[in-house]
Amino acid sequence: MSVLFNEYNGIFNLKTKNSSYLMGILMGKHLVHLYYGKRIDEVSGDVEELIPTPFTAAFSPQDIDGRYSSDTIPMEYPCYGSADLRTPAFHAQYENGSTITKLEYESHKVFGGKKKLEGLPAVYTESEDEAETLEITLRDRLTNLRIVLSYSVFEELDAIIKSVKVINDGGGVVRLKSVLSSCTYIFNKEYDFVHLDGAWARERHIERQPLHHGIAAVDSKRVASSHHHSPFAAYAEHNTDERQGEVYGYSFVYSGNFIASAETDQFDTVRCQMGINPFGFEWKLEHGESFQAPEVVCVFSDKGFGGMSRIFHKLYRTRLVRGMYRDKERPILINNWEATYFNFDEEKIFNIAKKAYEAGIEMMVLDDGWFGHRDDDRSSLGDWFVDKRKLPNGIEGIAKRVTDIGMKFGLWFEPEMISKDSELYKAHPDWCLHVEGRERTEGRWQLVLDLSRADVRDYIVNVVSGILKSAPISYVKWDMNRNISELGSSDLCAERQPELAHRYILGLYDICERITTAFPEVLFEGCSGGGGRFDAGLMYYFQQYWTSDDTDAIERQYIQYGTSMVMPASTMGAHVSAVPNHQVGRTTPLKTRGYATVVGQFGYELDIEKLNNDEIEAIKGQIEEYKGIRETIHKGSMYRLTSPFEGQSSAWEFVSEDKSEVVLMHFTILVSPQLPLECVRAEGLDAHGIYIDKATNKEYSGEFLMNRGIYFDNSQDFDSKLIRFSRKV
């Protein structure tokens, strides 16, 4: 049993393989957070004894039994209005104008498995014994508003998934202003706030700062999780590194405006919260209606960031991603974007495909520019009919030619957008997000379709599905290339306009659900100018994501390192591209571009027709090598052995689940003269197993590789090495 409730002392113990999450019902009414950390099987004491903070403080009103103040004790789901004057998880306005809520414990229930979240992405179970769910109902006595806190405990996968549902059973309308999805505490401020910061082509670089009194936060107000911050936060002890130390990781399964914050109070208690960003948010809840907030995945590890990431990886790879390609090997693809941009025709695409097929590549992906009259990025989004000037035989014609030679065929869409220069805009100028009387600000010369409208969503689903049915298409790249301004809908009444940011994301999930479940055998790759919306929410619909528009092998060391904090290699799209690199102008060896790409879903994005014979032979070798290791990379455990953020090299290791296959990669960034050799110690091996280096046939014991390690020579800028070991049987 992973959810334990002690009726005598009112304490819940949610137990995963290595963690415990304790809550207690104080005085039979008040749900208090008591502990989250390393697993405890036997809990001693009662709720009052286990509260790790002062019960009250000067200037803090004692709103609980005249003795305790919710301003100092760790309320499990803090709400605004009574004595707790820290940032609330919940804030609402009632019909009388009051914004006071006071939640009391009403009941709880436990059941096997995990419920689906209506209209939202969610981690799932395949059988009831994979998780146990606790639902605790809290009630505001005056308004009768009820809040259901849900905790799904995946004991074996070592994670707890939390979500919140608000039910308006009271008489009047309730205006929700903040409904965060998770609140937990650390009772000591000697922790670092770790988050993923970035920009276009520089996504998810790791940032780490010590917590301080006051609020540390990252957020998005862009109606997309964004390139700038990811809906992820970790709190780590100052000495935590990849291998050791305590860390809490929180990942929000949502793609829109979010906040991840840590508020450190007067007693050094840190309130860690995550949820939909309250900025600009409001939701009108009529009597009898409910509001479901998205879920947060909570992971605790005392095995450092590596331990934390491996929990996220396995959970997301096996119980968030769906579709036929969840478990199936993904095809090695070639994409024409950096090869041709908008300048291509059927012959060019076919010639790339033919040459790629001869080299061992398995799928041809036709990127932007195949529809309307899109010769550059200024037009045609929304006009999803083929440009016969470029493709006289339609998508069907080129798809058939490609599949006839034995390759798969994939196609690019940007379904959420509309160009002003398009037939669709002429017919439906009110289908984009806009506010009457205000400028419709373009970004990349495009506007955003109003996904809160059912007619717009139906149009997108029908037009995309029609194309997918019309030709042998095995893969879709779903792009999104701007953030949202002038957030307004012609379809929503004035008082519901503040709901639009969330309604847009619900609309996005609706079209993704309808299209991806209608075509379960199609591989979907998400994209937003690279990794601008690479979040756990969209991984419920897309099996992989274009990690970044930056294809440079060195910049990718940083981007992929940061991305892999949460996302498994099986979800990270990575392509070998031409040099000098189109984004940063750097020239790196083809070998290094190949190995950088191995840490993800492998593909190419260059004009293969321009390569010489030696390069083609090298590519054939890369593909051969990759085919031998892709299973270990995508289904094995990832170990980040050396961080590019801490020096001029990086090293990665993948170990198959049974520890018999190992892939270890080392990259040199910039060298200086006379550097010492670098020792890289393997991890996660069978200590007493004998591992054979497949290239040299040399034998090493697992403990030798893990304790003594391998020495690498950092003597050449941008050099790289890949070693494969197999355990002797």
Residues that bind ligand DGJ (CB under 6 A): 337, 367-368, 412, 479, 481, 527, 529-530, 546, 549
Judged by beta carbon, residue 337 or residue 384, the one nearer ligand DGJ is 337
Judged by beta carbon, residue 278 or residue 562, the one nearer ligand DGJ is 562
Judged by beta carbon, residue 63 or residue 367, the one nearer ligand DGJ is 367
Q: How far apart are CA 324 and CA 32, in angstroms?
A: 42
Q: Minimal distance in Å, beta carbon 392 to ligand DGJ? A: 22
The separation between the first and the last C-alpha atoms of the chain, rounded to the nearest angstrom, is: 37
Q: Minimal distance in Å, beta carbon 412 to ligand DGJ? A: 6
Strands 523-526 and 544-546: parallel
Q: Minimal distance in Å, beta carbon 341 to ligand DGJ? A: 8
* Complete DSSP assignment for 517-561: HH-TTSEEEE-BTBBTT-STTGGGT-SEEE-BS---TTHHHHHHH
619 sits in which H/E element: helix 613-635
Q: Where are the alpha helices (DSSP H) in 386-530?
A: 394-404, 423-427, 454-470, 500-518
Q: Minimal distance in Å, beta carbon 441 to ligand DGJ? A: 19
Judged by beta carbon, residue 337 or residue 639, the one nearer ligand DGJ is 337
Judged by beta carbon, residue 374 or residue 640, the one nearer ligand DGJ is 374
CA 572, 577, 583, 588 dihedral sign is positive
Judged by beta carbon, residue 251 or residue 380, the one nearer ligand DGJ is 380
Q: Minimal distance in Å, beta carbon 477 to ligand DGJ? A: 6
Contact criterion met (CB below 8 Å) for 610 and 604:
no
Q: How far apart are CA 290 and CA 114, in angstroms?
A: 19
Judged by beta carbon, residue 337 or residue 725, the one nearer ligand DGJ is 337
Q: How far apart are CA 397 and CA 363, in angstroms?
A: 16
Helix (DSSP H) and strand (DSSP E) numbers for the chain: 12, 38
Residue 358, Cβ neighbours under 10 Å: how many? Answer: 13
Q: Minimal distance in Å, beta carbon 532 to ligand DGJ? A: 8
Q: Minimal distance in Å, beta carbon 356 to ligand DGJ? A: 17
Q: Which long-range contacts (CB under 8 A, 24 or more apart) does 693-696 make?
A: 693/723, 693/724, 693/725, 694/724, 694/725, 694/726, 695/723, 695/724
Name the closest residue to ligand DGJ (Cβ): 368
Judged by beta carbon, residue 193 or residue 412, the one nearer ligand DGJ is 412
What residues are labeled active site?
479, 549
Dihedral of CA atoms 76, 78, 84, 86 in degrees, nearest 10, equals 100
Judged by beta carbon, residue 63 or residue 549, the one nearer ligand DGJ is 549
* Cis status, amide bond into 331, omega within 30 of 0: no
Q: Minimal distance in Å, beta carbon 200 to ligand DGJ? A: 9
And the tokens for 580? 């000098």
Q: Which long-range contacts (CB under 8 A, 24 or more apart) does 343-352 make?
A: 343/369, 343/375, 344/369, 344/390, 345/389, 345/390, 345/391, 346/390, 346/391, 346/392, 346/393, 346/397, 346/398, 346/401, 349/391, 349/398, 349/402, 350/398, 350/401, 350/402, 351/609, 352/607, 352/608, 352/609
Amino acid at 454: A
Those residues whose C-beta lies under 8 Å from the C-beta of residue 575, and which sit 6 or more positions away, are 335, 338, 551, 597, 603, 604, 605
Strands 417-419 and 3-6: unpaired
Q: How far apart are CA 298 and CA 482, in angstroms?
A: 30
Q: Minimal distance in Å, beta carbon 531 to ligand DGJ? A: 9
